[in-house]
Structure 1
Amino acid sequence: MQTGLVVGEDADHRALSGNEKAAVLLLALGPDHGRPIWEELDEMEIRQLSRSMVGLGPITQAMLDELLAEFVTIVSSNGALSGNTESTERLLMSFLPADRVEVIMEEIRGPAGRNMWEKLSNVQEDILANYLKNEYPQTIAVVLSKISTDHASRVLAVLPEELALDVVQRMLGLDPVQKEILEKIEATLRTEFMSTLSHTQRRDSHEQMAEIFNSFDRQTEARFMTSLEEASRDSAERIKELMFTFEDLTRLEASAIQTLLQAMDKKDTALALKGANDAAKEFFFGNMSARASKMLQDDMDAMGPVRLKDVDQAQGKMVSIAKDMAARGEIIITKGKGDEEMIA
């Protein structure tokens, strides 16, 4: 029997688990001879075998012969088997409806979860929000009402503000959704979103770690960064490039920093600048009116000595407010090198 699969002569011989043996056998039988077996399996068994088949990798001729002998089955094969996503999906498509195969493969490749709504709750909020923002507000309301509440809150937080408020109002007045409409939404999400999600690159781990470092207090950040520099200078430099710190606020345009200062509590601003370096103080004072600058300096002088922890918290609050305003489109944050030149 011709399997259409390629021999891996130099691959190592290895032991196979029970599920892997069954997967190899069914892959060797192919769609015609294997169909009667597949049709006798229940949904759970099909999923288990499909997962094993996807992860098989190369199966040598010797391994195949040994397996066939074990099953007391004589199969003439011109080559070894290679179980992967494509071959598994192709085989399933030969005897299962396309929508059923799609669900099985989606579970193997996509985010964890037993159903569509559990899967969506495992999708990064900015990725889900980026997809949903192009949908009707009523559709978004239905989707967010079906996923976990904590994840729905994070998705709402990164949606455009006007759209998010519209969605909130619709969620408050949402009636029970007809089964047919819900199934249509699920089908659309499965075909238009989840099917392409597996090809989306994972978030850069350095970017994620940079955000973690941003949340550290000054001493903790310095301690971890010093250790990281000793272990991997390249990783440390990459994280430094991605971090957005209080000092980076001095790279904001004048209009942006003025907008930020208007949104800040004056006490927090004074406390944040109390521990800033002279260049940062000069930058902030330079973007205030002479009267506002004088009042802020008086407030700082009246504070007397302050705890470094309090300064870190105030500076962190200013950074967080700036990032929130940028997410709402109120200001633009550019994280660039200090020596970059702008040419008019």
Structure 2
Amino acid sequence: MAEAAPKLTGTERAAILLLTLGEQEAAEVLRHMGPKEVQKVGAAMAGMANVSRDSVSTVLDDFVDTIENETALGVGSEDYIRKVMTEALGEDKAGGLIDRILMGRNSKGLEALKWMDSRAVGEIIRLEHPQIIAIVLSYLDADHAAGVLATLPERDRPAILMRIASLDGLQPNALKELDEILEKQFAGQTNVKSSSVGGIKSAADILNFLDGNAEQALLDEVREVDPDLSQQIQDSMFVFDNLIDVDDRGIQSLLREVSSESLILALKAADETMREKFFKNMSKRAGEMLRDDLEAKGPVKLSEVEQSQKEILAIARRMADAGELSLGGGGDEYV
């Protein structure tokens, strides 16, 4: 029983838990999730097959252990939320995240876009002014925004990316007005209170989710207009090779969330140093199995390798935002 749990990602554990619930109870849980979480967990549920009794038992035991340490206490104070999250994540990491949480709670028009596929969002905003498009993309999750950007005309992308990178916050009234305009298409009300969107990091995060060729082409076009801005964006990007700077504890945490198939594909194009980084943070048996799988894996498309690397990077960024690992190498020391 103890061996089954480490093979499951967090998403797979959530899927198993929901599958053990009744339909009504599972639906109630899903209502409290965001669009990205619903999509990931739903896909995992659909792909579940031949789940062992030991795996189910382990997931349920872990869930019960977690719940026993929770309380029913709910605290709704914005000041409390800001203070706790800033204490947990640090001011830099917590700032934008807090604003997005508090904004999303009351925003209807912008929030509705998160539930649409990239092409649908692109159709809605493609005729808007580049500044409006930049604000909308800054509000979306980076991978979603990258998908939307890819649907927009190539000639418009550099200007949009530069505007995203140049955004330095937004007046609440302006964001509220944009939200109300979008909301008229979906109905409802809004009460926007937060406005931390855009910036160099936002532009870099979006680029991280584009495929390699599109990413480089867009950076080159921005460089022709504003070399300094292009360099700042590139400096803020996090690529797969940067995982070499993550400490061993962080890599071990990351491995618990990454599927074996994704890791095999991602490491196909990695050098020996990067591979050793992962091997040494696995058990001897798991490392040997991974080596064998890599050797046995035939030729794969570079696009598949890049996609797997980006998926792993997305997990790493999510964990970094949650304070579970440091992407910068070094970071805070432990005592």
* TM-score of the pair, normalised by structure 2: 0.43
Q: Using CA pairs below 8 Å that are at least 6 residues apart, which structure has the higher relative contact order? A: 2
Q: TM-score, normalised by structure 1?
A: 0.42
